[in-house]
Amino acid sequence: MDLNTIWFILICVLFSGFFLLEGFDYGVGILLPFVSKNDDDRRIVINTIGPFWDGNEVWLLTAGGAIFAAFPHWYATMFSGFYLALALILVALILRGVAFEFRRKDNRPRWRSTWDWAIFIGSLLPALLFGVAFGNLLRGVPIDASKNYVGDFFGLLNPYALLTGIYGLALMTLHGAVYLSLRSEGEVSERARNIAKKLWLPVVVLLFVALGASYLFTDMYSKLGVDPGVVPILGGAALLSTIWFVRNKHDGWAFLMTALTIVTSVITIFTTLFPRVMISSLKPEWSLTIYNASSTPYTLTVMTIIAVIFVPIVLLYQGWTYYVFRKRVSKKSLAA
């Protein structure tokens, strides 16, 4: 296994961790206006992700940095082609981060309501647009022989990409509902569980529709980079079993099932693409791969040494954070 492949795998791991962790963040933010009846409820909802949301975003920053350093041509083409979409995501994330801090600066209901809806918008847009972006990576985008993106923003809003975006949005919302039922108590937990019950079937339907659309609009079935084997089957089985755990109030197991669905979805996308990182819809030979888009072997070697040292430290720290704040959030804990 060469360093190009190792870094492709590492980037897959980083995106898997990002969507697993930030996925429930987005889901909780999207559900904030719908599971809360008063300000105490909203504080409970926000406190379930309060210690984690900014740390979870580190996974995205690290993934972007890894792409920039290991595959600079991939970074340049993707960020120039998806520039407006990524700018919208950035604005949404800034709005979301500001909203978490600003809502508590004033007790007026209108002030807090405004920032609560900002959290909603700042969670919904990234969840949707990340799904659209990955849908375009699978479908292919217009890339010329010089590795330049030659399309426009509206070309990215094609039916297949919008479908994958809606599926990603629905899956993250379900993931957030299950997480919220696990991390809260009382009425908030029960409302989140009821929402999860209602969301499950639409997510399952969207998954099968997306799989059918992938057969029609992508080459993921005819040109597999690496056969994912049982990985997508495991993800589908996990999603199908989620409803049983939700109905029987096994919240931890339900969260594990939605987490498996997200991780296996990301792994399936990356194994399907390999060794490509961006598919050219103009000519297959103009596609970017882990070889024609990569840095020099020396750069990859130095980066590998750094990653071996620092990635375990980051994982241990984040794991410790989740352990410290593992207790459920309730009205009693708000008064503590």
Start-to-end Cα distance in the chain = 53
**What is the pLDDT at residue 335?**
57
pLDDT reported for residue 336: 52
Residue 154: per-residue pLDDT: 86
- Per-residue H/E/C for the chain: CCHHHHHHHHHHHHHHHHHHHHHHHHHHHHHHHHHCCCHHHHHHHHHHHCCCHHHHCHHHHHHHHHHHHHCHHHHHHHHHHCHHHHHHHHHHHHHHHHHHHHHHHCCCHHHHHHHHHHHHHHHHHHHHHHHHHHHHHHHCECECCCCCECCCCHHHCCHHHHHHHHHHHHHHHHHHHHHHHHHECHHHHHHHHHHHHHHHHHHHHHHHHHHHHHHHHCCCCCCCCCCCCCHHHHHHHHHHHHHHHHHCCCHHHHHHHHHHHHHHHHHHHHHHHCCEEECECCCHHHCEECCCCCCCHHHHHHHHHHHHHHHHHHHHHHHHHHHHCCCCECHHHHHC
**pLDDT of res. 222:** 78
Parallel, antiparallel or unpaired: strands 276-278 and 288-289: antiparallel
pLDDT at residue 30, rounded to an integer: 96
Say which residues have a Cβ less than 8 Å from residue 158's Cβ, sequence separation at least 6: 136, 139
Where exactly are the structural domains of the chain?
3-335
Check residue 334 and give its pLDDT: 67
pLDDT of residue 203: 97
Give the CA dihedral 153, 155, 158, 161, nearest 10 degrees: -60
Closest CA to 39 of 331, 333, 332: 331
Please tell me the pTM assigned to this model. 0.93
Listed as ranges, residues in the chain with pLDDT below 70 are 224, 333-336
- The CA distances from residue 199 to 194, 205, 236, 242, 256, in Å, are 9, 10, 16, 11, 17
**Angle between helix 3-35 and helix 159-183 axes, rounded to 10 deg:** 70
